[in-house]
């Protein structure tokens, strides 16, 4: 997030004294304000949590295999068709 971004929203957190002291110590160690450190940490965790939903990486060989599989027609699996046509077991 660029530092020139207008920051006009607040996020209030409730935490224990020990948590506050730990976060303050970490911010000091990094030479950041409590806000800078907290926002950076929260944004990093959010990006990490959502990364699996939006992006994944493959090496060249895996990518070639993936795209080759997409280019081939699906195999007909009679057992799968029967299973899909059967009534659900939880009803």
Classified as helix, coil or strand, 90 is coil
Burial of 41 (0-12, 13-18, 19+ CB in 10 A): middle
| Per-residue model confidence as pLDDT tens for the chain (91 residues) | 455 688 899 999 999 999 999 999 999 999 999 999 999 999 999 998 888 776 778 999 999 999 999 999 988 888 998 888 899 888 7
Q: Where are the domains of the chain?
A: 17-85
């Amino acid at each position: 997030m660029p530092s020139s971004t207008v920051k006009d929203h607040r996020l209030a957190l409730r935490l224990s004294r020990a948590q506050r002291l730990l976060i303050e110590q970490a911010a000091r160690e990094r030479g950041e304000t409590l806000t800078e450190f907290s926002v950076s940490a929260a944004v990093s965790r959010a990006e990490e949590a959502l990364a699996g939903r939006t992006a994944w990486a493959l090496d060249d060989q895996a990518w070639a295999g993936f795209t080759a599989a997409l280019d081939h027609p699906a195999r007909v699996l009679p057992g799968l068709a029967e299973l899909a046509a059967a009534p659900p077991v939880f009803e």
